[in-house]
Every structure is written in C-alpha cells, then in structure tokens.
Structure 1
C-alpha cells in the first residue's frame, strides 16, 4: 500500500486510489480491538455542532417521509380491504405495502456506492421530488395496478434512493455518539408513523380519501424541502476499489451472518404492524379505533428508538438489539390472542417500543464492520440483501391468514423467524467480541 499523505489522513483530500482496499474490513472489528481507522473516525467526527445537528434533523425528516409513511401501511391495508379494493384478497393487497418497504431497502446497493463516490445532492433532491409527486398521484388511483405501481413500486423506489443516503451521512458527522444520532434520526419514522395515521383517521371522514392523501403529499413537500437544504456530507468522496460490490466483506463471518439475520427479521417484523388494524376489526373493536393502533405503535416506537440510541452508545448496539428483538418475537406470538381493545393497546405500546429499538440500530453494526470511507457500499449491500425479507414477509403472513382464516398462523410464522434472527445476532455478537461478555 502506498503511503497516505498527511492531508488525506486529516480527511482534507481524497485518499490515493490504493489507500482503501476491498479487504479492509477483514481485520477491523471495532467491538474488540478498536483499529486505528475506527479511532481515527471517532477523533475526526465533530459529534455535535450546528451543522452536524442540522444534518441529523434533515435525516430525521427523511425517515419521517420514507419509513414513517411506509409504517402507516396498516391503515391503507384496512381501508383498501373494506372500501377501494374490497374485491382483492388481503394477501394480494399486502403486496403493495410489501413492495413499498422492499424498495426502500433494495436500491441501497447502488445509492450507497454513489454516496461513497460523492453523488449525493442531485439524487437526493430529484428522488425527493419523485416521492412527493407519487404521493399526490396515489390520490388519483382507482385500480389495483395503479396503487401497486405508484404507492408500491415508485414510492418505495424514490424512498429507497434518499433513505440510505440519509442514514450513511450520519457516520460523517457522528462516531462516538453515533447510536444517539441514529436514534434521533429513526425517531422521524416514529413521528411519521404517528402523524400520518392520526391525520388519516380524522381527515378521511371530513374531506375524503383523495384529499387526505394530498395532505400527506403537502406534508412531505415541506419536510423534504427543508431536508434538501440542510443535509450535506462532511468527508470528501472516496473511490473505493471493487466497483458496486465489496464481496470481500463477506469473508468477515460476522458481516455475512448479520446479513442473513437482516433477511430473517423482516420476514416477521412487519406482520403485526400491518395486520393490527385488521385483527382489531375482526375481534369487534369499533370501526373508528383500529386506525389508532398503528399510530400508538409508532408513537411508542419513538421512545424505543431514542432510548436505544443512548443505550447503544454505552453498552453497544447488539447488546441492545438482542433482548428487544426477542421481545418483538414473543409479542408476535401473543398478538393473535388479544381479544379486546385494552389488550391490543398494550401489545401496540410494548411492540412499538421493542420494534423501534431494532429499527433504530439495525444499520449500526455494519457501519462499524469496516472503514468509514466504504460505509455507503457496506450498508447498502446489507440493506439490499435485507430487502428480500421485507418483500416476502407480509404477503406470506397474508397468505397464511387467508388459508387459516385467523391470525394465529401468521403470528407463529412471524414470531418464529424473528426469534431465529435473534439467534443469529447472538452468533454475530460472539464473533465480534470473541467472548461471551462485553460492549458490542
């Protein structure tokens, strides 16, 4: 390897092409031995200041309009089943929401690579405009294929371009306080998941479905407009060798197993959030209330996301994710047996906190499994792989529901795969630490 110039070491100029290699992640295990490059990242990142916090606010507004909007799919599922698409099965309708969430993750491989190369503002602003336009056009949809293309495919695609960039840029500004920063950023999706369904529940009876979705579009227009002005990178672009993929990252067993866990967990993670309103209606809860269960779960997840960030900085993200993800799996088993409004509210609150913890931290481990110059590509590969789980999860649950006529089957399926992912997280933690106890 050629010698790195002092300016490059200070992050003032891009490093020489051969200063960052594909195999650099192989021996970098920050949980155990805190390599020089990880320490360098921690010493250079400002971890605060007006500019850094303005970027965090911009990233939070991004999650508000992407994950926050996607997390409200349960209200659309319920409304489409009862009104607009009543001739379609729950499983068929669920594909709209599943494709939307999948495409939030799927483009991350390409957008992560573009982020590392410095292509940031133009893709972000262009895709933000596309997301707003798709939301307004969703209000005009009448047929299933129209909802599938606009609300499922294109809304997910534009969200998937801006979200990975908004997450990756956090590592440019925060390192020692990265867990806290990610917790605040992910709280945006909790805020969106609370405001969108509450607004929908109150506005649909007053102004109808079309104007309610248009109001959602105006909310996104303002939020993403502010975010586009505030969000920015700190470090110069880095042309990491290897092109779009860094296949040598998979020689790190911890990263490989973490990617497998990233597929398993979403196979069951979104089942409860998606079918809570439908299951509430099935057990006789008032027609006006099921919409609020999604809002309650997302509001509670805000507490989980913020708490997870503070805890992760102290004890490590995996040490926080494992117990709370286990709680997600257990509650997924319990949820189908809730038979009244009070029980459903309790499950919504606890599930929201536990689920929010996982969602706020799930990109933190791959961020720390290599060099900061390659963070976009490494996180992008993980998100693209995990999209396989988000694509299949809720439709499988919907198919099981349609075949069995109840929610016990989907609950056992979804809870089982979530707990499987917890076992894989245990293995990742052991590989990272090399022992049973410690911060990781």
Structure 2
C-alpha cells in the first residue's frame, strides 16, 4: 500500500515529522507563519477579485423600466417646468425690457447677455454639482438648487439697476437651475432601458410646458401686477414645486456604479465624444437664438407685445407636445437616428418657413412646428450620450458637455442681436434666421458622423463575438480529434489560428469608407 501512497501525503508526513523534531516554540512560529501567508494570499485574491465582481454586478444590473421610476419622471418633469420653463419665459421679459427701458442706459446687447448668462451659469456649475453628488448625495444638490433659484427670483423683484438683474436673473438663477438640472438629469436613465428615450422625452416636455405656462403668465402679470410681483409669484411657486419634487426623487447610483467625475480628460481623446460635443455647440447656438428672439421677431414684423408673448408661448407649446414623441420614436427607430433627422428638420424649417414668416398665422405656425424639433438636443442628449459612452461614464460625459456648452449659450442671443439689421424694412431678422438654420445643419453633420461610427462599432463587436464563438468551437474540435487520434494536430492548430485571425480582424471604424458606409447604412442606432 505504501508504494501507492500519493506523493503529497508523503511530503505532508515528512513535514509533520520535521515539525515534531523541532523545538515546540519554533514549530508553533513556523505554523503561524504559514497560516498568515495563506491568509494574506486569500485576502489578496479577494481584493483582486472584488473589482471584477463589482464590474460584473454593474454590467448585470437591469433597470426596473418603470415602478418608482415613473414617480421620478414626474418629479423631473415638474423640475424642468420650473427651471428651464421659467427661463424660457425670458423672451417675454426681454421684449418688455427692450420696449419699456426698465433699466436706463442698458443696451439691448446687455439684456441679451442676461438671458444667455442664466443658461451658461447653469452649465458652468455642473462640475461642482457632479462632484458634490457622490460626496453629499443627490438630495442636497437638488435642495441647493431650490435655494438659489428662489433667491434669484425674489431678488430680481427688488432690482433697480442693471447689475442687480445680471446677478439675480442671470447668475443666481443659473446656479439654481444648474444644481437642479445636473442633480436630476442622470436619474431617469438609471430607471429605464427599453423606454429610456420616452421617459427622457417626457422629462424634456416639462420645460416646454413650463415655458408655455409662464410665458403667458408673465405676459399677463407684468401689465396687471407689475414686474416686481411677477418675479415674486414665480419665486414662490417655483420654491414649493421644486422643493417637493427634489425630496421625492431617488437615484440608483450605487446600483449602476456611476462614475461622478467632474472632468474626465480621457473622454476628450475619443473622436465620437468630440463630435457629440460639436453637435451640442451648434445646436445651442441655434436653439438659444430661436428661444429668445421669436418674441421680439414678432414685434419686428408689426405684431403687438401681447402677440409676441403668444408666439413665445406657442413655441414652448410645440416643445411640450413634441418632446415626448421625440423620445417615443427614438426608442423605436434609434436614438442617434432621430436626433440627427430632427436636428436637420429644425434647420430646414428656419430656412424655409421662418425666413418668409410675416403674418401672425405664419409666425404662429412656425413657432409650433419649430418648437417640436428645436429642443431635440435637450430631449435626446442623455440617451444619445448613453449610447456613446455607456451608463457608467454618463455623469462624467455630461459634466464635460455642460462645460463646453457654456460659451455658445452665453453668446448665442448676443450674436443674434448683433446680426439684426434694424434699418431693413421687414427683414430685420433675416441674417439671424440664416445663421440659426445653418447652425442646426452643422449640428446634423456632426451627429451624422457619430452615427457612422456607431454602426461601425456595432459591426466590430458583432464580429468579435462571432470570432470568439468560432474559436471556442474550433478548439473543441481540435481537442476531440487529438483525443481520438485522428487528423494532423499541427495542421489543425494552424487552421484554428488562421480562422481566428480572419474572423477577429479589427475593423477600422474611423476610416472614411467605413464611416461613409455606416452613415448611409439603414440601421437602428
């Protein structure tokens, strides 16, 4: 029997005899040393395996696609209505400022910067809000936004000089809107997968509905109650609604393992992300120009101030009605596809309809129609970026996006006012209309190239998966033939290697031919 004793047992017995022959204290130390080494090895293995286990957990996380997510959708909807919606009514304020000389010695360009300043400050505060979310939680960030927005609207009601309105309606309102926006924009994608674009479209519709309500409300309150009380009423309503919604929202940051990095420079090395940023820059140059110019454009073609506020309200109505459908069709036809197509449609509408709008009927028709597509960027920015970067890098990508959009949102309306030709009869806004149209077309081209990359990336991943499956099958066949003693093993291995090389060859995604093929290939992306 001893001849058949396993070698490990023999060594173990020899080791035990060695320990027995040693001094008891030294034997004890030797045993403890080996136990500690084994424990350290196990801990090291667990630590090395932990990131892999977490990564696998995050990849396997399945969004609920409903449930409490719909409560979050409702909350974000009303937050957008009382942030971006109220900001959309600035066109009515701007028209009132320009026609009544509220703050003496203030130029039209200064007023234009105030509107752009609110958006740019909202985006500029994004990195700070992104940093604070994992440190102090989403709820604190949202409540901070409620505080700043309420302070800005109440403070604006007491403004007597132009720098007062710059700080209150511009900077402070932008901070509040920024904290609320950044704190809420990344929550809905965590709750939805199949219906993600629909949910985001409903959220984005909140800004349109809010713009509709508050454009009409501000247009009615200012002549009846005065500018001060119009601001105070807005402040009280916004505080109550935003405070309620901010404390009902619930994120899933721990479930998806979100990376809340304020500025991830590695993303700037990805060409598809840079093109995505280009889409945003061009879209904002056009969007802000339309949003804040349409009310004053109505005055330039002979309409009244009341009619101008109605036109602004109809533009926001179009946004409110159109954005849910944008989200719904994005889920069905592809998020990048819809965003690209509707960006082009907006540019086309500006060049074909807005240029020739002279009567109240045509102006209203244009306002509703362009409203459905003008805010395509805000309705699709998060789902499109999730398609490009994935959910885990989405917060970092959005943070960079908001920083990049600071400049275009600040100068867009100022550019529009500079481009106005006040000496032209009936064509004061012609250059603005052409500028806006081509900005949206430029945005379309950027996203169209991203579509080409995405199609190529999908094809590359499919080819790699196919190569993996084929390689596994070939390996199994080679092993079976070797076990059975059939075939030439060397030739079989060479054939397997050749098959892997052919099927797993890397597709050059950024080659012009591959990009062009991806841009024109019918595919849901």
Cα shift readout 1:347-376 (whole Å, capped 9, x = no counterpart) = 101010111333211222112323423321
| Cα distance between partner residues in 1 of 2:423 and 2:322 | 33
How far off is 1:114 after superposition? 3.3
| Cα distance between partner residues in 1 of 2:252 and 2:215 | 35
Moved more, 302-311 or 207-216: 207-216
1:61 to 53, 57, 78: 78
**Contact persistence 2:263–2:399 (CA under 8 A):** no
**2:150 aligns to what?**
132
**2:372 aligns to what?**
353
- State which structure, 1 or 2, has the greater radius of gyration over its C-alpha atoms: 2
**1:329 aligns to what?**
347
Cα shift readout 1:94-150 (whole Å, capped 9, x = no counterpart) = 000011111222222332343355631112112211211211111111211111111
Matched, 1:168 2:206: no
**1:210 aligns to what?**
228
Cα shift readout 1:326-360 (whole Å, capped 9, x = no counterpart) = 12112323424311111110110101011133321
| Cα distance between partner residues in 2 of 1:424 and 1:5 | 36
| Cα distance between partner residues in 2 of 1:105 and 1:372 | 20
**1:312 aligns to what?**
330
| Cα distance between partner residues in 1 of 2:96 and 2:207 | 21
| Cα distance between partner residues in 2 of 1:58 and 1:4 | 36
How far off is 1:9 after superposition? 5.7
Cα shift readout 1:142-185 (whole Å, capped 9, x = no counterpart) = 21111111101110122111102211111221122110110111
Greater helix share, 1 or 2?
2
**Contact persistence 1:272–1:335 (CA under 8 A):** no
Matched, 1:373 2:388: no
Matched, 1:416 2:501: no
**1:438 aligns to what?**
523
Matched, 1:8 2:26: no
How far off is 1:7 after superposition? 7.2
| Cα distance between partner residues in 1 of 2:434 and 2:423 | 12
Residues 251 and 138 of structure 1: CA distance in aligned 2, closer, same or farther (over 3 Å): same
**2:252 aligns to what?**
234
| Cα distance between partner residues in 2 of 1:244 and 1:358 | 22
Residues 372 and 62 of structure 1: CA distance in aligned 2, closer, same or farther (over 3 Å): same
Residues 423 and 86 of structure 1: CA distance in aligned 2, closer, same or farther (over 3 Å): farther
**Contact persistence 2:280–2:377 (CA under 8 A):** no
Cα shift readout 1:67-106 (whole Å, capped 9, x = no counterpart) = 1111112101101101214643322210000111112222
| Cα distance between partner residues in 2 of 1:425 and 1:194 | 29
1:147 to 140, 155, 165: 165
| Cα distance between partner residues in 2 of 1:161 and 1:419 | 31
Query: What is the TM-score with the length of structure 2 in the denominator?
Result: 0.74
How far off is 1:5 after superposition? 6.7
Matched, 1:77 2:90: no
| Cα distance between partner residues in 1 of 2:90 and 2:274 | 30
Matches within 5 A, 1:261-410: 261-333=279-351, 334-401=353-420, 406-410=428-432
Matched, 1:428 2:450: yes
Unaligned residue ranges in structure 2 (runs of 5+):
1-46, 457-517
Moved more, 111-120 or 54-63: 111-120
Residues 189 and 130 of structure 1: CA distance in aligned 2, closer, same or farther (over 3 Å): same
**1:23 aligns to what?**
none
**Contact persistence 2:283–2:377 (CA under 8 A):** no
Query: Which SS does the other structure have where 1:187 is aligned?
Result: helix
| Cα distance between partner residues in 2 of 1:291 and 1:110 | 35
Q: Which has the higher contact order (CA 8 A, sep 6+)?
A: 1
Matched, 1:106 2:124: yes
**Contact persistence 1:62–1:162 (CA under 8 A):** yes
1:256 to 266, 274, 278: 274
Residues 55 and 269 of structure 1: CA distance in aligned 2, closer, same or farther (over 3 Å): same
**Contact persistence 2:281–2:408 (CA under 8 A):** yes
| Cα distance between partner residues in 2 of 1:293 and 1:5 | 55
**1:223 aligns to what?**
241
- When the two chains are superposed, the root-mean-square deviation of aligned CA atoms in Å is 2.2
Moved more, 370-379 or 166-175: 370-379
Query: Which SS does the other structure have where 2:375 is aligned?
Result: helix
